[in-house]
Amino acid sequence: MDLLDNLALGFSEALAVHNVLFCLLGVALGTAVGVLPGIGPTASIALLLPLTFGFDDPVSAIIMLAGIYYGAQYGGSTTAILLNIPGESSSAVTAIDGHPMARQGRAGVALAAAALGSFFAGIVGTFVLAAAAGPLAAAALTFGSAEMFAVVVLGLVASIALASGSALKALAMIVLGILLGTIGQDLYTAVPRFTFGVRELWDGLSFVSVAVAVFGIAEILKNLHDPRTRVRVAAKVENLWPTREDRRRMVGPVLRATGLGSVLGVLPGGGHVLAAYGAYAVEKRVSRRPQEFGRGAIEGVTGPESANNAAAQTSFVPLLALGLPAHPVMALLLSALIIQGIQPGPGVMTAQPELVWGLIASMFIGNLLLVVLNLPLIRMWVKLLDVPYSVMFPAIIAFACIGTYAIDQNPFHVLVMAVLGVGGFVLVRCGCEPAPLLLGFVLGPLLENHLRRALLISHGDPTVFVTRPISGVLLGLAVVALVIAVLPMIRRKRDVVFAEED
């Protein structure tokens, strides 16, 4: 069967009334868990996974769970823009420019730009998944541990562009994030590391605790410490739709980020987080207005949002074609398939074509449902900005505590969030940015895993990273990017670009 026949088969499954309803339920739940900080798609899918035992049709179960995942990519930008608290991991970078736009009274524009960019990227990413699943899966097979290590290194070095201050501080924050990511049991020996005898640290620090602490709690403490930093968002938001100039500035970032996210989503381990950070770094480098980044550049919203949504769609390629989960959510979906008696891998597209193509077709429907759901809700979300600080701050802390506690009903996570929140506040006061720290924390375990695996395969030969062509080129690009970032001339230029306006 050719592509059109496969899509026809998929739509015949996805357009069944019960599957449309499950798709709507999934994307609505995904939007909700994306909006609420501290919950996220991983915890939501994990909680709903046992329910899939009772599903007679595996297509319905996978459509609903997948809808929660890519729906959370839409919803996660909402609190990132309005409250500077990422609702989902890939939305952390959206807060860098989205929240300053909200402070300027352009919250509606930022939310609409994020929704439109997400919709376009989601549709394109689904087309990529449908048209190129086979070739892209074959390309991903050529990436071994050495290549994936080089990809992660390049992503971490490129993230220096996320920091609006010192490149040295950005490097330090990345290293700190990697160190925090090493807390817990060793990947290969299960020996606890840096746990200081605390049993709760054996599983490592929770991403939710770290993200909510360094973005949400630290931001609240900063505002409470200096009332002059409480930049109140305009009570009257005049524009809820991007202007013609905004739309013109959105086109390039959406196209570039969609392409980048589609590629990174296919690579096992690349995922939507790296795509969002990478898209932001690219837009900041190519922009004619780099001084606006960090102060409300619309490119800083549409780029990351487009990238993470494109990656969310194409991350299904290694799962369906190779049986390789690209990140924890894909691992849960893999479990759901196995629960239904389906073994993902190269044979699933021929053995279960109605499942694969039904899921792909449902993504077109789900993205359409998401934009229909999200655009009308912009006015409702903007109303959150009218809530007084005396009410908003305690409410944010309460929701953060509830979401953090809900990870596994352990109050220790709330304690970690409080401690890291104070630490994040100290770092912010020292002029350090939290975004590189978060990226280092997310990618640190992946970096270590591929480093050790490559050395095991090569019997301890470190030259494997430079003798393999792809990894050698990627590491060379990382070195070039690092040199450019720390050159004195470039550093002085960065300081001028990001100088505070008088």
Phi, psi values for residue 270, rounded to 5°: -70, -65
Mean pLDDT of 230-242: 56
Share of the chain above pLDDT 70, in %: 76
Q: Are 304 and 315 in contact (CB under 8 A)?
A: no
pLDDT attached to residue 382: 61
Q: What is the DSSP string of 357-389?
A: HHHHHHHHHHHHHHHHHHGGGHHHHHGGGGS-H
Mean pLDDT of 332-342: 74
Calpha distance 382→235 (Å, rounded): 9
Q: Find, among 422, 420, 411, the residue nearest to 177 by Cα.
A: 420
**pTM for this entry:** 0.64
Confidence of residue 489 (pLDDT cuts 50, 70, 90): very low
pLDDT attached to residue 21: 92
Alpha carbon 243 to its chain's center: 27
Mean pLDDT of 1-18: 81
Calpha distance 300→233 (Å, rounded): 19
Q: Name the helix (H) or strand (E) containing 193.
A: strand 192-193
pLDDT attached to residue 501: 42
Calpha distance 228→220 (Å, rounded): 13
pLDDT attached to residue 42: 65
Mean pLDDT of 245-272: 80
Ranking 196-210, 237-251, 320-334, 411-425 by mean pLDDT, the lowest is 320-334
Q: What is the DSSP string of 468-481?
A: SHHHHHHHHHHHHH
pLDDT attached to residue 161: 53
Calpha distance 117→102 (Å, rounded): 18
Looking at this protein, which amino acid is placed at residue 465?
A: F
Q: How far apart are the first and last CA of the chain?
A: 64
Whether the pLDDT of residue 379 is over 50: the answer is: yes
Mean pLDDT of 94-99: 86
* 193 bridge partner residues: 184
Ranking 84-93, 166-175, 222-231, 304-313 by mean pLDDT, the lowest is 222-231
Mean pLDDT of 399-417: 80
Q: Name the helix (H) or strand (E) containing 184.
A: strand 184-185
Average pLDDT of every residue of the chain: 78
Q: Name the helix (H) or strand (E) containing 290.
A: none
pLDDT attached to residue 133: 65
Ranking 64-73, 259-268, 273-282, 365-374 by mean pLDDT, the lowest is 259-268
Alpha carbon 494 to its chain's center: 26
Domain ranges of the chain: 2-501
Enter the DSSP assignment of 164: S
Q: Are 435 and 155 in contact (CB under 8 A)?
A: no
Whether the pLDDT of residue 322 is over 70: the answer is: no
Mean pLDDT of 47-72: 78
Q: Find, among 320, 359, 335, the residue nearest to 23 by Cα.
A: 359
Highest averaged pLDDT of the listed ranges 10-24, 138-152, 429-443: 10-24
Confidence of residue 87 (pLDDT cuts 50, 70, 90): low
For residue 497, count other CB atoms closer than 10 A to its CB.
Answer: 15
Calpha distance 16→303 (Å, rounded): 34
Mean pLDDT of 461-479: 87
